[in-house]
Structure 1
Amino acid sequence: MGMDYQEEVLYISRRIKELRKEKRLTVQELAYRCDMERSNLSRIEAGRTNLTIKTLCIICNALNVSLRDVIR
């Protein structure tokens, strides 16, 4: 059986944080690239917000990675 919804959200959130750190970006720098508040990105990385596909694509573009890189 696969992961439940909460596990999926946490996996994606952790993956975003991992990719941000690999790119050596701060939360503030990535938030700026995504045109969002730092606090919103922090909530996303902590898995405390419902991430839309649109927002996920914006983050992927800012990280210069594909959506597939994040959800694998």
Structure 2
Amino acid sequence: MSQEAEEAEQRITRRLRELRLERGLTLDKVAAAADLTPGYLSRVESGQRVPSLGTLVVLARALDVSVADLVASEERRSPIVKREDAVTYGTRGASMTHLSPPSSALEATLVTLRGKSVPPRPTRHRGEEWLHVVSGQLELTLAGETHLLAAGDSAQFPGSTDHTLRGAPDAEVLVVIA
């Protein structure tokens, strides 16, 4: 693993703990809100476990922040995000490049799916989600109904709808959450 990736993982786990403590929340409370065990959350916060993309989404929701707020470095406050400054976070099944500034009301992310991996459970969050398949194919499951999308196809739905993304190897999807 690259040094940059290790630093990003450390920053994310540190930020999760900081946000939880800032809000006066216990491990039990955040774990319950994210449908995780307190032990697992403790291991994530201590850097013993790396959360999946789906887990990051539910933890961000439980802490009332965007995923971009979890992965962004402290110095990123400009409304401009240069390619070399975009934060990329990877898990076994996907990598995410955040294209919008942290704390923006709009969260734009380029997701590269590797293989047929999916989050461990359907994801839900606040706001509206729009996605566009840049390349490859995407299997989008909304409230239990599966749709096959190809390059050039788009979808929009309430973020509160249970959803999972499953892509062909190296599928790229632009995701915007508002």
TM-score normalised to the size of structure 1?
0.89
Aligned to 1:37: 37
What residue number does 1:63 align with? 63
SS in 2 for 1:4: helix
Q: 1: CA distance between counterparts of 2:35 and 2:51?
A: 15
Q: Deviations over 1:24-51 (max 9, x none)?
A: 1011111111111100000110111121
Query: Which has more helix, going by share of residues?
Result: 1
Q: What residue identity is the alignment partner of 2:22? A: E
CA distance in 2, matches of 1:16, 1:44: 9
Q: Which amino acid aligns with 2:44?
A: I
Q: CA RMSD in A?
A: 1.4
Q: What is the aligned partner in structure 2 of residue 15 from structure 1?
A: 15
Q: Which has the higher strand share?
A: 2
Q: Which runs of 4+ in 1 moved over 3 A?
A: none
- More divergent stretch after superposition (5-14 vs 55-64): 5-14
Aligned residue number for residue 171 of structure 2: none
What displacement does 1:3 show? 4.6
Q: Which has the higher contact order (CA 8 A, sep 6+)?
A: 1
Secondary structure, aligned partner of 2:44: helix
Instruction: Please identify the structure whose Cα radius of gyration is greater.
Output: 2
What is the DSSP-based 3-state SS (H/G/I as helix, E as strand, rest coil) of the residue aligned with 2:25?
coil
> What TM-score do the two structures reach when normalised by structure 2?
0.38
Unaligned runs of 5+ in 2: 73-178
Supply the AA of the counterpart residue of 2:69. D
